Amino acid sequence: MQILLSGLATGAIYGLVAMGFAVAFYVTSVINFAQGQLLMAAIMVAAAVSQAGLPTGLGIVAGLAAAAVLGGLVYLLAVRPVLSFSRFSFAWLVSTLGVATILEAGAALIWGPTSRGFPVMLNDQPVRILGAVVSWQQILAIIVGAAVLAAFELYRRRTLFGKLGMAIAADPEMASAIGANTRNVAIAAFALAGLLAGIGGILVGPITYANPYLGETYGINGFVALMIGGVQRPAGAMAGGLVLGVLSQLANTEINSQASDWFPFLIVVVVLLVTPTGLLDAARWLRWPSRRAAAPSPAARPS
């Protein structure tokens, strides 16, 4: 139970970062490699506001807003120009990595390289559940992760904007031809991705404190979660995060204290070998075998 709860709490953070990757990819087919740094930005801004003596709530809102705005800016400054030049260019790999470096170096210049305090929130309040001890902050991470996932799926399926995103994801030229503003939807997707990373940051900040170099770790683990869950659906990314969190915790406990360094990569290699489109797709195909004959393979998604 300890492994499960601790793993789910960590996995929810990975899942939020991974969902951000998936949302941006879903609409633009671009992986934003600055996603982890957006998590860091939310933490740093929230910590700075709090340390300035302002209310924690204001810090949280400011942190989330910063992550969302930065997410939108990543698209406008580092992705859109590249895609405008050539839709099939992969220069966004370099440009989003460049933004990641800028954000990290910028945060270190502004706030210094050393960890700063973060509002403790619920992290000093332990709770015992079926013999396991976790903090309410970890429980909050699990609850928020689930709530965000549910809200996002409702938004995606039930709102016009969500359906617009699905249309653009399926065929951007066609969506544009019928009047969809692909630029605005893409900006919104990147901002939403930043917001998701920011939520992860606010949830994990009391545990990690505020440090300019946090983004890399969470970016990598979020990406691994995305690979495990599959890039096709944000829900899969969250599932990948939860699986990764629990298995990493298990590895640290049952193998050794450094196992979580390499174990996630082992998992992702195995997953990619067995089911290249992610665990969720594999589960779906196992569950509904009759669809296999009727529908194209998930790998044959329209570009």
Integer angstrom CA distances of residue 31 from 12, 111, 172, 233, 287? 20, 27, 17, 14, 29
CB atoms within 10 A of CB 79: 23
Does 240 bind another protein (CB under 8 A)? Our answer is no
Q: Which stretch binds another protein (CB under 8 A): 24-32, 194-202, 246-254, 278-286?
A: 246-254
Question: DSSP letters along 142-200, please?
Answer: HHHHHHHHHHHHHHHHHSHHHHHHHHHHH-HHHHHHTT--HHHHHHHHHHHHHHHHHHH
| Least distance from another protein to the Cβ atom of residue 14, Å | 9
Give the chain's count of helices (H) and strands (E): 14, 2
CB closer to another protein, 155 vs 213:
213
* Residues 159-218, interacting with another protein (CB under 8 A): 204, 207-209, 211, 213-214, 216-218
Question: DSSP letters along 69-86, please?
Answer: HHHHHHIIIIIHHHHHH-
CB closer to another protein, 135 vs 182:
135
Does 69 bind another protein (CB under 8 A)? Our answer is no
Nearest to 116 by CA among 162, 60, 174, 49: 49
Q: Of 1, 54, 58, 105, which one interacts with another protein (CB under 8 A)?
A: 105
Q: Which stretch binds another protein (CB under 8 A): 3-11, 166-174, 274-282, 293-301?
A: 3-11
Q: For residue 122, give the DSSP letter.
A: T
Does 129 bind another protein (CB under 8 A)? Our answer is no
Q: Of 77, 147, 286, 295, which one interacts with another protein (CB under 8 A)?
A: 77
Nearest to 75 by CA among 221, 182, 233: 182
Token digits of residue 61? 């809102």
Q: How far is CA 164 from the centre of its chain?
A: 21
Does 297 bind another protein (CB under 8 A)? Our answer is no
Q: Of 31, 62, 102, 144, which one interacts with another protein (CB under 8 A)?
A: 102
x/- track of binding to another protein for residues 9-48 (CB under 8 A): -x--------------------------------------
Binding residues for another protein, per CB under 8 A? Answer: 2-3, 6-7, 10, 77-78, 80-82, 84-85, 91-92, 94-95, 97-102, 105-106, 108-109, 112-115, 117, 123-124, 126, 133-135, 204, 207-209, 211, 213-214, 216-218, 221, 245, 248-249, 252-253, 256-258, 260-261
